[in-house]
Chains A and B, each alone.
Chain A
Amino acid sequence: MNRETLTSAALVLLLLGIPLAAMATGHNFYVTLASRMAILALAAVGLNIALGLGGLVSFGHAAFFGIGGYAAGVLAWHAMMLQPFPLGLPGTKLMPVIWLVAMLAAGIVAAFIGAISIRTSGVYFIMITLAFAQMIYYFAISFPSYGGEDGLSISLRNAFPGVNTLDPFTFFLICYLLLLAGLFLFFRLRDSRFGAALQAARQNETRLAAVGVSPFGIRLAAFVISAMVTALAGALYADLNRFVAPSMLSWHMSGELIVLIILGGTGRLAGPVAGAIVFVLFEHWLGGITERWQLYLGLVLLGVVLFARGGVVGLLAGKARHG
């Protein structure tokens, strides 16, 4: 085992250890906090596929996070109100169905956004993904059927067959297992032929084209997969808070997802996990001490960008083998 694998394993186990330790010492609140970490980590794992492997700096992943959230909220709302969708399709409170719908919806939207954005590169790509996410954000605000600006609450957490999702630790385990699945997907993608082509597209597009691979299709596929993983996390996030609001779609959310990745280490397997643990703890502890925690978050971020490149994983496991 090399240092990178060891670090990854340690971080993933640490995340499992947080709720266990919390329950053993009676600090049950930290179980919910750990669920939040797992969900944000999963969202960032999704973004890490596009950003870390493909070099696609999407500043609009909140769109997919929010679409996942709204999939959960809207399906549950229709199920609770006993109001079928047009064409007579019923709503549902079943998590697996919700996850599927969330990922499909985000995948379709990502294919559309990606098809336009990926023709551009650099700053254009950053700004266009941002603008598309804003478009969806404003649509969610001004479209009143599902709460508009006020958001939509999910009065009872959605169900998973055979387990009680209302129990915080059970819900944490669901999030944690999905995070592991997401990490496994990232790991397999990175070392696959597809992943090699994707990373080559980031490193040297011309050479990739010279060996006969068109970067466009590869990037688009990566963008869509990335969006689907982030949407799955969004659906979980809505269930965690039992609430979905346009703020899930806001550009601050997109920024936070990027922050998680950079804090943890760009393109590293366990980067999002490390980033999410640090970010949530930071938010919780500093938020408890001072109202101005965002000021300190800003200063820390600035410090990380300017002086500590490579993030937490870079610090623990050394530089990436190739970047």
Chain B
Amino acid sequence: MQTALLIEQLLNGLQFGVMLFLMAAGLTLVFGVMGLINLAHGSLYMVGAFACAAVAAATGSFWLGLIASLAAAAAAGAIVEMTVIRRLYERDHLDQVLATFALILIFSEGMRWLFGSFPLYLNIPSLLSGSVPLPGGSQYPLYRLAIIGVGVAVAVFLWLLISRTRLGMRIRAGEADREMIGALGVDIRSLYTIIFALGAALAGLAGALVGALQSVQVGMGEPVLILAFVVIVIGGIGSIKGALIGAVLVGVVDTMGRFLLPRAMELVLDASRANTVGAAIASMLIYVLMALILAVRPRGLFVANA
């Protein structure tokens, strides 16, 4: 029974990590190519979740909702890029932080205006509502496995996109020397818009997928955003590979910490104290992990643009 529980928690950690990867990939891409720190990325995650919940409620189809989440988040990303973000590339990080912080306020209040303060709920599609037997006799929800599958597919897609296509070549060139590719005749403004919209779509997809596991509400993007920051700091800002490995590391360490630490504490403390102390330490664990990694490698595990 214990091993089954352990495997289940490991899978939960993996699923959490994959979801973080969807968020972190966009953040790290935007930072790597445009040098922009975008706090409003969590808002795009929220937009995706709301779009999915609203369309799924109206049409009864989760899949249409999923498409809507991609489209809405990409559109929101493109609009924000063209109206606000574009003016920030040449500014220092302080201005970027502040302007995107302002965008969070606008997005959150705007969503509350449109959808009200009550959380929306999104049902898992019937196709994926079953569960799969695990070794050891327990069952694992199919939907969570599907999220892991989506994450792996996105990772492969991004890898192919960046290493095998013309757009990917331009993205890599943009990371290396943005003035030069502009001089070579690449329309850098629309390239930036496309990259930003791509990152936004991934965030929206993550929001929609997670929306079926939790409730869809204003402010849902913020805790995830901060974890995504931890992920890209650990992985090395600008590196997609770093984002993938960092995300899985954070997802697994966080989930396993919450699962194992209270149990480990029981060896030295009585049960109720072990639970509270264990939970308190577990909630700090990934930040400790981040501090340790940065103490050894101040620029993260995989340094991009070295």
Chain A 213-258 interface residues, beta-carbon cutoff 8 Å to B: 251, 255, 258
Chain B facing A: main interface SS: helix
Residue interface bits B271-296, CB-to-A below 8 A is 1, else 0: 00000100110111001101100110
A147-162 residues with Cβ-Cβ distance < 8 A to B are none
Which A-chain residue is minimally distant from B225 (CB atoms)?
A251
| Least CB separation from A256: chain B residue | B101
Q: Are A295 and B280 in contact (CB under 8 A)?
A: no
Contact status A131-B233, CB under 8 Å: yes
Give the chain A neighbours of B113 by CB distance below 8 A: 292, 295
Q: Does B122 contact A (CB under 8 A)?
A: no
Interface size bracket, A side: 35 or more
CB pair A126–B105 under 8 Å, yes or no, is: no
A residues 251-289 near B (Cβ < 8 Å) are 251, 255, 258-259, 262, 266
**Chain A residues near B108 (CB, 8 Å)?**
294
Min CB–CB distance A58 → chain B (angstroms): 11
B26 smallest CB distance to A (angstroms): 15
Chain B: how many interface residues by the 8 Å CB criterion?
A: 44
In the complex, B187 has a CB within 8 A of chain A:
no
Q: Which residues of B contact A142 (CB under 8 A)?
A: 276, 279-280, 282-283
Which chain A residues border B279 with CB–CB below 8 Å? 142
Contacts of B106 in A (CB 8 A): 295, 298-299, 302
A135–B99 CB distance below 8 A: no
> Residue A127 at the B interface, CB < 8 A?
yes
B94 at the interface (CB under 8 A from A): yes
Q: Is A139 an interface residue (CB 8 A)?
A: yes
| Pairwise interchain contact A251-B284, C-beta atoms closer than 8 A | no
Assess the B290–A128 pair: CB atoms within 8 A: yes
Shortest Cβ gap from A172 to chain B (Å): 29
Task: Tell me whether A132 and B109 are in contact (CB under 8 A).
Answer: no
Interface status of A120 (Cβ within 8 A of chain B):
yes
Within 8 A of A (CB), among B214-250: 222, 226, 229-230, 232-233, 237
Check A28 for interface membership: any CB of B closer than 8 A.
no
Report whether B298 and A262 are in contact in the complex, using a CB–CB cutoff of 8 Å: no
Could you mark each residue 111-145 of chain A with 1 if its beta carbon is under 8 Å from any beta carbon of chain B, else 0? Answer: 00000100110111011101110110011011110
| Contact call B94/A144, Cβ cutoff below 8 A | no
A142 to B285 Cα, complex, angstroms: 13
Chain B interfacial positions (CB closer than 8 Å to A): 31, 37, 84, 87, 91, 93-95, 97-99, 101-106, 108-110, 112-113, 222, 226, 229-230, 232-233, 237, 276, 279-280, 282-284, 287-288, 290-291, 294-295, 298-300
Question: Can you list 25 residue pairs at the A/B interface with Cβ under 8 Å?
Answer: A57-B94, A120-B298, A123-B237, A124-B300, A126-B37, A127-B232, A128-B290, A128-B291, A134-B287, A138-B284, A142-B276, A142-B280, A142-B283, A258-B101, A262-B94, A266-B94, A294-B109, A297-B102, A298-B102, A298-B104, A301-B105, A302-B84, A302-B99, A302-B102, A305-B102
A: residues with CB less than 8 A from B are: 51, 57, 59, 116, 119-120, 122-124, 126-128, 130-132, 134-135, 138-139, 141-144, 251, 255, 258-259, 262, 266, 292, 294-295, 297-299, 301-302, 305-306, 309
